Amino acid sequence: MGVHPGKLVALIGPNGAGKSTLLKSIAGDIPYTGDVYLNGQLIKTISAQDKATFQAVMTQKSAVNFQFSVEEITLMGRYPHFDHQPSLKDWKVVRRQNELLALSEKENQIHYSLSGGEQQRNHFARILAQLDSEYLGTKLMLLDEPLNNLDIEFQHKIMEITKDFVAKGNAALVVMHDINMAAAFADELVLLKNGEILTTGAVDEVLNRQNLKTCYNMDACVHQHPFLPHKVVYFQPLKQELESIEQASALINS
């Protein structure tokens, strides 16, 4: 399995499939067997300080119990880039990312007083601030369920920002539960179940009825979105109703 420059790769699969474990292994946060390379370098040989300038991780649960402000949380992303005091450039990065995530008016508010979705946006702003560096190689964004607690607008916004990030020659690996969001934004999918990779590849290759049925133990139909250039998935536990949907779809498309 590889995550290449210019690609957004989504990890999908049921609860307990090993998505977060795989992400944490790549991040170097938990022990693992085998080798993980980053920009051609064995990741175990890269210092945490150096790695922090081109790899950022957003975990599934990022609880902050201290009275840090929104501004301070975003500034944490700049820690790898200065020694003692943030520079004017660091503060400009913080302002830019908070504005991008619609947090400018909340910069002085205590982080844990925010709604769940606002906290999620604050952590994503921190990730963006960290990766706003002059490093010339491929930067890697590791996101574990970044769409948790977000409304529809910001689910799309965060995925659009991530797509823009990889379009600049960077890479992103994202754990996702919403298969249709993954289909809309990912370049490649990794389908996991019971700690194993069932299949990996381009979205259209991975998203088929048999793969989804094997992974999720539910019948599904996969169709082309009627207005957009990606697939949509409909899960259906009852075979009779699934056949009715497919028959109706065939009539519409005929």
In tens, the pLDDT along 227-253 reads: 888 888 988 765 555 566 667 677 666
Q: How far apart are CA 115 and CA 74, in angstroms?
A: 16
- Give the angle subtended at the CA of 10 by the CAs of 222 and 253, to the nearest 5°: 20
CATH homologous superfamily of domain 1-41+140-163+172-254?
P-loop containing nucleotide triphosphate hydrolases (3.40.50.300)
Nearest to 141 by CA among 25, 18, 3: 3
Binning the chain into helix, strand and coil, the percentages to the nearest 5 are 45, 20, 35
- Give the angle subtended at the CA of 189 by the CAs of 23 and 31, to the nearest 5°: 20
Q: Which is it for strands 219-224 and 41-42: parallel, antiparallel or unpaired? A: unpaired
Q: Which residues contact 73 (CB under 8 A, 6 or more apart)?
A: 64, 111, 122, 123, 125, 126
Rounded to two decimals, the pTM is: 0.86
Q: How far apart are CA 194 and CA 190, in angstroms?
A: 13
Nearest to 204 by CA among 180, 228, 188, 190: 188
Q: How far apart are CA 183 and CA 187, in angstroms?
A: 8
Tell me the sheet residues that pair with 9: 173, 188
- Please, which pLDDT band fits residue 57 given cuts at 50, 70 and 90? very high
Q: What is the pLDDT of residues 5-48, one digit of tens each?
A: 899 999 999 998 889 888 888 887 777 777 777 767 787 788 88
Percent of the chain with pLDDT over 90: 58
For CATH 3.40.50.300, list the domain ranges present in the chain.
Answer: 1-41+140-163+172-254
